[in-house]
């Protein structure tokens, strides 16, 4: 209990019966308790019944009133006297400034997942919205998970009528991993690799395809790179493909065999990425065009005007927009037709 001192009064009526108080000489105790525990930051008044002139009091500090105001921890002595006898007694008053705060544990919650009431360990708990809020509640609050962020709650406990300082309980609301490694990445010529990375989220672990656990990874060669992020709210997996500066989306075989055996019957482009623009032309050794297509899925079946073309070497030219390198490329080469 903090702030302005509060006057607490203990009125002792055990030994005195009524307004015409007189001593019971057979009783040795004026004050029934040997120790009285009082909350810190209070003024305690130890009040005896008014003797109405029949009983007189003498406190250890010389005061003679039927009460004494106690401001600090210590032992206090009293002598009560009437016409029949005199009784001496004492009491130890302890100002309890060591009320421990309740035990609390911070909470980590997930976005939009309903939460349970907060928990703390202590006696007669009281919950507050701030460290200085005047009014508290014995009902533990249920944190909202409608938004991410850090939210503070405060709780005290009361022991022997004394309220402890307030313990702070931190609630943090997070969301499941989110990241995007980007579109396909080109490793420029003349460099050792490119850095693949994501912004690290708190409480999230990361694992790459090779088992490394940093939020970044250096890609040194063409291929697929996979990152998995995981926390208490869920997981996410993202993949990015890297290519070197001379990698091409389109490749062509060096030979084909249109002999009706069902194997390697057609000469066509091998494409491993999207192609928005494509044009391929095949010429014989005399420079005559024997085939043309704008569809990368279509190929030459080894026929010219419906007749089987001769075995031998043919030349192709292909112009296409390379999805990886983000530019137009022209490929040319030769292919051997075998029967």
Pairing status of strand 86-96 against strand 67-70: unpaired
Query: Across residues 131-160, what is the average pLDDT?
Result: 94
Share of the chain above pLDDT 70, in %: 90
Please write the tens of the pLDDT for every residue from 273-317.
778 899 999 999 899 999 999 998 899 999 999 999 999 999 999
pLDDT at 65 over 70: yes
Q: How confident is the model at residue 41 (pLDDT cuts 50, 70, 90)?
A: confident
Architecture of domain 6-96: Sandwich (2.60)
A 10 A CB-CB count for 91 gives: 21
Query: Across residues 95-117, what is the average pLDDT?
Result: 91
Separation of first and last alpha carbons in the chain: 100
Pairing status of strand 86-96 against strand 35-39: parallel
Beta bridge partners of 168: 154
The yes or no reply on domain 103-174 and CATH 2.60.40.10 is: yes
The pLDDT score that the predictor gives to residue 31 is 82
What kind of fold does domain 250-337 have according to CATH? Immunoglobulin-like (2.60.40)
Q: Which of 37-51, 120-134, 221-235, 287-301 has the lowest mean pLDDT?
A: 37-51
- In which region does residue 98 sit, left (phi positive, over 0), alpha (psi from -120 to 50) or beta (all else)? alpha
The pLDDT score that the predictor gives to residue 19 is 41
The pLDDT score that the predictor gives to residue 223 is 86
Domain ranges for the chain, please list them.
Answer: 6-96, 103-174, 185-244, 250-337
C-alpha span between 249 and 269 (Å, rounded)? 10
A 10 A CB-CB count for 63 gives: 13
pTM for the structure as a whole: 0.57
Query: Across residues 184-193, what is the average pLDDT?
Result: 80
Q: Do domains 6-96 and 250-337 have the same CATH topology?
A: yes
pLDDT at 5 over 60: no
Beta bridge partners of 242: 185, 223
Please write the tens of the pLDDT for every residue from 219-254.
998 889 999 999 999 999 999 988 777 677 788 999
Beta bridge partners of 78: 59, 89
The pLDDT score that the predictor gives to residue 51 is 63
The pLDDT score that the predictor gives to residue 191 is 83
């Amino acid at each position: 209990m903090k702030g302005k001192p509060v006057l607490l009064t203990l009125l002792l009526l055990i030994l005195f019966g009524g307004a015409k108080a007189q001593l019971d000489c057979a009783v040795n105790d004026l004050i029934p308790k040997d120790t009285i525990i009082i909350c810190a930051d209070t003024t305690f008044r130890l009040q005896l019944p008014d003797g109405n002139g029949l009983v007189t009091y003498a406190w250890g500090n010389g005061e003679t009133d039927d009460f004494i105001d106690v401001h600090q921890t210590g032992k206090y002595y009293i002598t009560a006297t009437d016409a029949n006898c005199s009784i001496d007694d004492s009491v130890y008053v302890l100002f309890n400034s060591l009320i421990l705060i309740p035990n609390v544990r911070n909470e980590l919650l997930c976005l939009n997942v309903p939460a349970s009431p907060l928990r703390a360990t202590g006696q007669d708990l009281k919950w507050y919205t701030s460290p200085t809020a005047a009014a508290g509640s014995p009902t533990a609050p249920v944190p909202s998970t409608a938004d991410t962020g850090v939210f503070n709650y405060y709780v005290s406990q009361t022991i022997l009528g004394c309220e402890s300082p307030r313990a702070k309980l931190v609630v943090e609301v997070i969301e499941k991993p989110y990241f995007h490694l980007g579109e396909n990445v080109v490793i420029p010529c003349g460099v050792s690799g490119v850095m693949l990375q994501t912004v690290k989220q708190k409480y999230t672990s990361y694992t790459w395809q090779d088992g490394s656990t940093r939020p970044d990874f250096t890609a040194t060669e063409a291929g697929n790179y996979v990152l998995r992020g995981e926390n208490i709210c869920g997981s996410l997996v993202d993949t990015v493909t890297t290519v070197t500066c001379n990698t091409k989306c389109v490749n062509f075989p060096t030979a084909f065999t249109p002999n009706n055996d069902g194997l390697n019957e057609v000469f066509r482009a091998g494409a491993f990425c999207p192609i928005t623009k494509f044009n391929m032309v095949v010429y014989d050794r005399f420079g005559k065009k024997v085939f043309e297509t704008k569809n990368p899925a279509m190929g030459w079946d080894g026929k010219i005007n419906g007749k089987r073309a001769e075995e031998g070497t043919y030349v192709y030219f292909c112009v296409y927009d390379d999805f990886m390198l983000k530019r137009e490329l022209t490929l040319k080469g030769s292919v051997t037709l075998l029967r």
